[in-house]
């Protein structure tokens, strides 16, 4: 037997024909595709209710930020918790630079203002029920002026008790995992087209942050 395999390593009487191999591969791919579709379908179904929840800003002043949590789904949501927290300093500066150039001599003042913001995660007291029925909403008030250095978000549970979080004015819910803590990645680096000095200034800003903010 092994002598035949040495001479004819792909003997069809032992290994089968190309057609049979191709059929087996197609069958395996079909099984994997069906499994992938099932997983994606279940994930979409789990997310369907949370996608009908909206956390939107109504207005802001120098004294407060008002927002509303709307439940546009067919089921109630529960344990609605309103939170805010301070962004990492680097993230704060990057967001600021998305709207305007930041000069080096501004950084010490910006760092001082950022340090004055409440650190950690602060739960905002709500005087309304944390249970929102279909088609209803609650109002939320954040004390203090709106700041790019702060993140505003809510946490809630859907009708199947699955926990979710959603940032203000971002309509894509994120599933909360066990021992979750909010992690905010750096924003996409702003590209100043045709402005070499802006790119160089940005590098200097990042170096200053690394040396002085330690965050």
Split at pLDDT 50, 70, 90, the class of 141 is confident
Task: Give the global pTM.
Answer: 0.59
Which of 154, 142, 146 is CA-nearest to residue 182? 154
pLDDT tens digits along 144-175: 878 888 889 999 999 888 999 999 988 889 89
Going across the sheet that includes 121-123, the strands are 121-123, 78-86, 150-157, 163-167, 174-175
Question: If you write DSSP's letter for every residue of 148-170 in order, what string do you get?
Answer: TTEEEEEEEE-TT--EEEEETT-
The number of beta carbons lying within 10 Å of the beta carbon of residue 209 is 20
pLDDT tens digits along 45-102: 668 889 999 999 988 888 888 999 999 999 999 989 888 888 888 888 888 888 888 8
- What structural domains does the chain harbor? 2-47 (no CATH), 49-212 (2.60.40)
Measured in degrees and rounded to the nearest 5, phi and psi for residue 211 equal -80, -25
> Cα-Cα-Cα-Cα dihedral of 39, 44, 49, 55, to 10°?
120
* 100 and 37 Cβ atoms separated by less than 8 Å: no
pLDDT of residue 198: 65
DSSP structural state of residue 75: S
Average pLDDT in the chain: 75
């Amino acid at each position: 037997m092994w002598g035949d395999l040495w001479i004819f390593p792909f003997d069809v009487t032992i290994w089968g024909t190309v057609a049979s191999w191709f059929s087996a591969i197609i069958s395996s791919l079909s099984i994997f595709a069906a499994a992938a579709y099932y997983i994606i379908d279940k994930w979409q179904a789990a997310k369907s209710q949370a996608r009908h929840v909206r956390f939107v800003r109504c207005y802001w002043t120098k004294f407060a930020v008002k927002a509303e949590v709307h439940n546009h789904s067919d089921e109630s949501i529960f344990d609605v918790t309103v939170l805010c927290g301070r962004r990492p300093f680097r993230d704060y500066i990057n967001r600021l630079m998305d709207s305007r150039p930041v000069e080096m001599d501004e950084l010490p003042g910006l760092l001082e203002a950022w340090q004055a913001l409440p650190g950690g995660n602060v739960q905002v007291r709500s005087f309304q029920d944390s249970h929102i029925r279909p088609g209803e909403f609650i109002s939320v008030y954040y004390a203090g002026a709106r700041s790019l250095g702060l993140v505003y978000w809510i946490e809630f549970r859907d009708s199947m008790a699955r926990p979710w979080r959603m940032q203000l004015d971002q309509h894509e819910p994120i599933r909360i995992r066990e021992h979750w803590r909010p992690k905010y990645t750096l924003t996409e680096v702003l590209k100043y087209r045709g402005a070499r000095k802006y790119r160089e200034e940005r590098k200097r800003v990042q170096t200053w942050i690394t040396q002085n903010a330690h965050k």
